[in-house]
Each structure stands twice: as structure tokens, then as C-alpha cells.
Amino acid sequence: MARAGLCSRRDAERWIFDGRVTIDGVVLNTPAIIVTDKMEIRVDGKLLTDAPAPRLWIYHKPVGLLTTHHDPQGRPTIFESLPSSLPRVISIGRLDLNSEGLILLTNDGELSRYAELPSTGWARSYQVRVYGQVDEEALADLVNGVTIDGISYGRIEAELEDPSYNTRSNTWLFMTLYEGKNREIRKVMEHLGLRVNRLIRVAYGPFSLGDLEPGQVKEVSRADVLKAFPEAE
């Protein structure tokens, strides 16, 4: 189901437990099953066909959109703003409502899972504008990780984009994360006495935002997909 781009692996498990999936006419009640190409798998009564070739897109998320397929509060989502020419896609990672920049989109749930696994080790790089006096020594020490309110954050590489400019007004930082916990940058900056007022993701793993404007999307070439995801062959 994830490979066919219907949903993420987590959602697939939830759909199974909700009784939405059948194999050869029998409702499936556990994801712990080995399937073969001879089995008839249906989701919500619709036949699950062979998965299309894995594809990947780079999307420049604007501020004000949620990275979710549905918001109970009715707020706008990135999936509502995508071109109608795209097939059903899922996101690789998330950006919160007030963050912007690069989001990877794919029609293949296995690609999404691979990219998000900590063992894959893909870095996420950001341009971050903060308000407050930056302690450059404390900023550099983030490379050793930090624990805040009992939550441990791993290595963060952070530096001033312009070391000659460090005042209590807005200052730009360049930061690279290797874990990407929920609202990690904002929480870590707050811990250092800084307030984030703009956050732009400019790279995720081997992919960069480049000159894409907010709201624009472009497809990654098949060759580059295979370089990043060998299992997509």
C-alpha cells in the first residue's frame, strides 16, 4: 500500500486495523503477513494494482500551509495547493505552519520511509533568522548536542551567516540537523535565548531548494532518484 503511494506505512497499518483491507476476499486484521503477486488485495473495495515507478518532486512550501493531508480545523494544506497534474503524493518529513522551504514529495511510501530513517543519516539544512544577541560559543557547542526539558537533541551544526553582523536585531544563521525532532530548531534557539522569526529549509539529504519560488514544484530526474534511492531500481 505504501509502495503504491496510497499512504504511509503508518497509515497502512491503521487502515488494516480499521478493516479497510482485504486479501482474497478476507478482511485483514494484522500487517504481519507475507503477500505474493498472486493475491488479490483490495483497499476500501478497490483493487490494489501494481505500483507505478517511484517518482520524487521538490516543493517550495510557503508559510501558512500545513504538511498534512487533512486538518480537523480546516486550515489550508500543501496538498490542496499542489498542481492537479501531480498524482497522489506523500511528503518526506514535515515543516510546521510558520516554516517554509524544501519539502520532498513522492508517490512511493517506501522512499519516504527510507529518507526519514535516522540510520539513513540525511542532513537537513536551514537558513534561520533569529532575534536576540547570539552567543557564538554556545551556538558552536550545539555540535555536541543539547538536552532541553528532558529531551535530547543530537548534533547540530550552527554558525552565523555573516560573523561580522551580530546584534540584538535580526541575525541570520545557517543550521544543519541530523535528526529533525518536532520543532527542534525553534526549541533549541529558545533555549539559547533567541526567537526564530523566519525558518527556511534549503536542503534535505542530496536535494536542494535552488531557485524554486514559494509554491513551485519540480520533478527530480529518474537518474537522480536512483542515485539517492538505490532500491527504487
List pLDDT tens digits, range 119-164. 888 999 999 999 988 999 999 999 999 999 999 999 999 999 887 6
The pLDDT assigned to 39 comes to 83
Strand, helix or coil for residue 189? helix
The pLDDT assigned to 117 comes to 84
The pLDDT assigned to 34 comes to 80
Strand, helix or coil for residue 115? helix
Query: Whose CA is closest to 184, among 123, 106, 111, 115?
Result: 123
Q: Which entry of 11, 37, 71, 96 is annotated as an active-site residue?
A: 96
| 24 belongs to the catalytic site | no
Cβ 195 vs Cβ 128: under 8 Å: no
The pLDDT assigned to 53 comes to 83
Nine-digit cell string for 4: 503504491
The pLDDT assigned to 168 comes to 64
Query: Whose CA is closest to 1, among 230, 117, 122, 17?
Result: 17
Instruction: State which residues of the chain have pLDDT below 70.
Output: 3-5, 50-51, 164-168, 231-233
The β-bridge relationship of strands 100-106 and 195-204 is parallel
Q: What is this structure's pTM?
A: 0.79
DSSP state of 194: -
Nine-digit cell string for 177: 540537523
Cβ 127 vs Cβ 177: under 8 Å: no
